[in-house]
Amino acid sequence: MRALVAADSDEVLMARFCEGHPPAFDALFQRHAGPVRGYLTRLTGSEATAEDLVQHTFMSLVRARGRFQPGSRFKPWLYAIATNAARDFQRRGRRPEELTPEGELPVVADESTGPRDVGLERAVRQALEQLPEGQRIPILLHRFEGMGFAEIADTLGLTESAVKVRAHRGYARLRELLTALRTETME
């Protein structure tokens, strides 16, 4: 039996996991838990909630592994599970701002090595929170998770053109909101 190699694609690892090789799941978890946690933190506004939802996401992945279609892309499928976990959480009536002190959302660390502008991060977070979910999720997946529009379409069960329209409208609204926030702080 061939050992798992870091170069194995997500799809190969998922196929091996579906065939009953638990180390393939471990490799997928190691590869994706951090990015999924970052996405869920940005989506829910709470690191603690995101941590719980990461666990829920991967437990759901284990339960749903029999529904993973060979030849499908893994990342959109995983992010669909994570997005649904966050939606389910929010439907239960708990708002992210209730989970963090003083309604302040946590700062999500960027992997870049450059200096951070905490004020800008806060402004972007506030602006993103004002977007409807249909625009916010495509922007989070595109800008912060590096997914292409085709992957986002697979994740959300939409057409690629619908995702592009939502993202375009969301980016335009985000620019408006950030301009308004910048104007407020300059006054």
Each residue's pLDDT tens digit, 144-175: 999 999 999 999 999 999 999 999 999 999 99
The enclosing domain of 180 has a CATH number of: 1.10.10.10
Domain presence at residue 1: no
At 169, which amino acid appears? R
Q: How many helices, marked H, and strands, marked E, lie in the chain?
A: 8, 0
How many CB atoms are located within 10 Å of the residue 133 CB? 13
Looking at the fold, whether 80 and 148 belong to one and the same domain comes out as no
Tell me, yes or no, whether 68 and 151 share the same domain: no
95 vs 170 pLDDT, higher one = 170
Tell me the pLDDT band of 6, cut-offs 50, 70 and 90: low
Considering the domain architecture, whether residues 43 and 132 belong to the same structural domain is answered as: no
- The reported pLDDT for the residue numbered 93 is 67
> Which two three-digit tokens encode residue 45?
């506004």
Shared-domain flag, residues 80 and 135: no
- CA 61 from chain center: how many Å? 15
Residue 122 in this model has a pLDDT that exceeds 90:
no
* Same-domain status, 54 and 137: no
- Residues 12, 60, single domain; the answer is yes
pLDDT of 4 reads 52
Q: Is the pLDDT of residue 103 over 70?
A: no
78 has a pLDDT exceeding 60? yes
Residue 89 burial (10 A CB sphere; 0-12, 13-18, 19+): buried
- CATH number reported for the structural domain that contains residue 57 in this entry: 1.10.1740.10
pTM: 0.76
Instruction: Let me know if residue 62 belongs to a domain.
Output: yes
Residues near 38 by beta carbon (within 8 Å), at least 6 away in sequence: 50, 108, 144, 145
Please say whether the beta carbons of 177 and 136 come within 8 A.
Answer: no
Q: Are 109 and 48 in contact (CB under 8 A)?
A: no
28, 90: one domain: yes
Q: Where are the beta strands (DSSP E) in 42-123?
A: none
CA-to-CA distance for 56 and 61, rounded, in angstroms? 9
The token pair that represents 130 in the structure block? 């004002």
Owning domain of residue 167: 115-187
